[in-house]
Structure 1
């Protein structure tokens, strides 16, 4: 006679549940921890206050006790991430230290794509100043140390910051849409060589620059730094 254990219907395991906020433990830091995780997992477009409340195991209105709305929550999340930036302690010349500082900012942005979008889509210049003061001060100090005048230092910083943010955005978008590289490859291959000889001849190199995000960023950064060093060495 078959045992009761062998004839019993197997009960499927329950799916793992996310940890809930203990009663009375809700606070801004806990909310931001969960918000940043959801932003990393689901992206900016799929994020909602309701989804965040469900993840925390609280009612949606409980979140508004700490943040007046999603925009305020996003600003706090962005500031939390940018506050983690620590200038690298790399030794060397001013331009070597500047290079390391730029790469550290680029890596910070790549690691937080949703926060990068929040920063890039902000229309208020004071938002960026409030969030990235330490990085800005570090880079400007190094440019001044290298011998640039005030105007050149400010404009060189603007060039470096725009290139760093733009490169990080492009890399994040390519990672989010891996098919984009194949689309680009197909379009290049379809171009008539007699009309676009340079594009046709350099197709492999163009594809390499599209696929190697970090390497391509450093290549472009070195080109900019080369120009900055030339500017710092004396009058044009």
Structure 2
């Protein structure tokens, strides 16, 4: 059975400074359906925004952001736990820092834990441990964290579900003629050096962090699929029906 890592961003999970409950439930239903065909790991943002619903702190201050993550993580996990329970599925929480991914022994422990959970039908939910990570142990954003996790646990593919529905040949916000690049085999270094431009107050990336994650996956000779997290038709078609209708596939293979 193939193994996939699904990353869901804050832009998808939040709306009007609240957790977008309907979208969260749609994501959970997608994962439950995918579990019939794949081993599934979720990398989820949203802890800081969940915390903000309870306490309005300035998240630009590191200590405040860590406090919001500490408040929000159990709230977010409760929502996931209840949503999965509606489908009689069990989930588990795994919190990581860059330090957990930096040595072979730590990598092996993560992989072993994931394997035990997956072998027993449990869906692992991964997030960066924002509440305790010090600056030098911060991964930075969950796009890159999801790529590190995917390669570390030998996943066949990383899927990023975002407010960005694909990779275009130019900025679709500025160019109405921008076209989707359905398959990408190579990412130019200049594209990776652009400034990140998140479209949501709680997001940390934009297209640049997606490209960095894709570049890392290509380096690991693995694939990444970028699609909308608002409308799940493209990811369902791609993963369940094996039809590439929308979204962008990053792959080393010539297609």
Do both proteins adopt the same fold according to a TM-score greater than 0.5, normalized to the shorter chain?
no
Q: Which has the higher strand share?
A: 2
Q: Which has the higher helix share?
A: 1
Instruction: Tell me the TM-score normalized by structure 1.
Output: 0.26
Higher relative contact order (CA 8 A, sep 6+): 2
Instruction: Tell me the TM-score normalized by structure 2.
Output: 0.24
Bigger Rg over Cα = 1
